[in-house]
Amino acid sequence: MTGPSTPHGDVIVHVFGRTDVGRTREHNEDTFIVADLTTMNASLQPEVRTHKAGTRGTLFMVADGMGGAAAGEVASAMATEVVLAEMDKRWRTTPEHDPELFAHALRIATEVANTRIHAYAQAHPENRGMGTTATIAGFLHDTLYVCQVGDSRAYLVRDGVCSQITKDQSLMQKLVEAGELTAEEAEVSERRNIILQALGPEPIVKVDLTSQQVKQGDVLVLCSDGLSGQVRAREIADVVRAESDLVQVCKKLIDLANEAGGPDNITVVAARFEGGGLPPQAEQPAHRVYRGSQQQRSTIPLDRSSVPALAAMDPSEMPTLETEVVTPRSTPAVDPGAATLEVTPRDKAPAVDPSAETVEVSPRDVAAGPVKVGVGGPAGEGPGKGTVEIAPARGRAPQPAKPAAKVDTNYLRFIFGGIAVLVLVVYLILYRKG
């Protein structure tokens, strides 16, 4: 598919998306969305399938739901609806056009989606544990900003080469990074579906936000693990290189996944970027963590002793706070000096003890009141075991002062005198030997 001739400075986006139930599942828990954020048109109508990128950019998203019964479908649908609504409220209706605000809005929209899904599950016990992965790409000017939670993926195909620009938040990814498995071994492991994070199961989620500059002719491919688990990156590149029509790209990729067995729902969103508003060359595609001015501030470990001082600081001078995330599943006790969080594997795979992760806690949240970080308990019972409450020292009841102990001055003279004699003896011995 080729777009119309464009004046210098315009960017043309061609996009299509498709989802399929696969060969094994009875119903489809995947959801995707494509939206021109300038016109707020979320559809696959012709005016969206080929459109000029406006001042508000374009949104692409794939969500892979989980939770049994219809809970997965509910979670993935909620995720796409909430993200789109939050981008409308936090980005499209604001007067600013700053890319940093755009990236920040994507992150916040993802976090709000997690909060809404978690709250829905708490209010509906039959859906407790529901969740969804989310790979959310926002395109603005000449850059993709990608928010990642779970193991759906984003690829960028450039000059016939397909590069993964997200990192799976999965057990296999951690084992590969630790050198315990090769990427090839991870692809065929029986535990490859175990994820460490999703939207919904926990009240707190850590969003992996990355950025990637786009050049003329680049093709973005978002997909659920129903595709990435069956079709290799080189096969994706072959299809994109052979097909200019994105409708056919999506169809052929889904066909490949089904031919490999189709064990899961399969969803693909493909977008090609063209026009004089894009550079002819750009940095090589890779997983690059996005760090705006807020994220570039220094970080410090957070424990109880640091809270009173932080509460008194000016918010503009506060560093980013980080707490270690560990799983309390196998630990006999909770360290009172650290915040803990259990990372829950995907419910459709056996439970494991995942590697340590990191969760950010805002200093403003700490200054405003107690911050609870931990593992949720049964419905209606509040936080479960392993929960630690981080709160400023303000408002604590004053403790009675202990009476000062009396010191025997003669005893102190005796001690210091003995030390002086001992030092003198050692000095004389060393002097004679020297």
pLDDT average, residue stretch 105-123: 96
Local confidence band at 427 (pLDDT 50, 70, 90 cut-offs) = confident
- The model's confidence at residue 97, banded by pLDDT at 50, 70 and 90, is confident
pLDDT in tens, 253-264: 999 999 999 999
Give the span between the Cα atoms of 338 and 356, in whole angstroms: 13
Q: What is the mean pLDDT of residues 231-236?
A: 96
* Distant-in-sequence, close-in-space partners of 6: CB < 8 Å, separation ≥ 6: 12, 52, 274, 275, 276, 277
Rg, the chain, Cα only: 27
- Rounded average pLDDT over 121-135: 92
pLDDT over threshold 90, residue 289? yes
Q: What is the mean pLDDT of the chain?
A: 79
Q: What is the CATH number of domain 12-274?
A: 3.60.40.10
Give the pLDDT of residue 186: 81
Domain boundaries, the chain: 12-274, 299-390
pLDDT of residue 14: 98
CB 32 within 8 A of CB 222: yes
Q: What is the pLDDT of residue 411?
A: 65
Q: Which residue has the tokens 């009240």?
A: 203
Sign of CA dihedral 45, 50, 52, 53: positive
Q: Determine the pLDDT at residue 51.
A: 98
pLDDT range class, residue 409, cuts 50, 70, 90: low
User: What's the confidence (pLDDT) of residue 172?
Assistant: 87
- Above 90 in pLDDT, residue 184? no
Cβ(386)–Cβ(330) under 8 Å? no
Interval 349-401: pLDDT, tens: 433 444 444 444 444 444 444 444 443 444 344 444 343 444 444 444 445 55
State yes or no: pLDDT of 219 exceeds 60.
Answer: yes
> Are the beta carbons of 156 and 212 closer than 8 angstroms?
yes
Sequence letter at residue 68: G
pLDDT at position 382 is 42
What pLDDT score does 69 carry? 62
Long-range contacts of 325-333 (CB under 8 A, 24+ apart): 325/206, 325/356, 325/357, 325/358, 325/359, 326/356, 327/353, 327/354, 328/374, 328/375, 328/385, 328/386, 329/353, 331/386
pLDDT of residue 300: 45
The per-residue pLDDT for range 318-336, each reduced to its tens digit, is 444 443 333 333 333 444 4
* pLDDT on residue 393: 42
The angle formed by the CA atoms of residues 359, 336 and 177, to the nearest 5 degrees, is: 35
What is the tens place of the pLDDT at every residue in 40-92?
999 999 999 999 999 999 999 999 999 866 799 999 999 999 999 999 999 99
267 contacts 80 by C-beta, under 8 angstroms: no
- Residue 182 vs residue 218, higher pLDDT: 218
Q: What is the mean pLDDT of residues 302-319?
A: 51
Between 391 and 186, whose confidence is greater?
186
In this structure, of 167-171, 172-176, 355-359, the range with the lowest mean pLDDT score is 355-359
Residue 7 banded pLDDT, cuts 50, 70, 90: very low
Per-residue model confidence (pLDDT) at position 394: 44
**Tell me, what's the pLDDT at 194?**
86
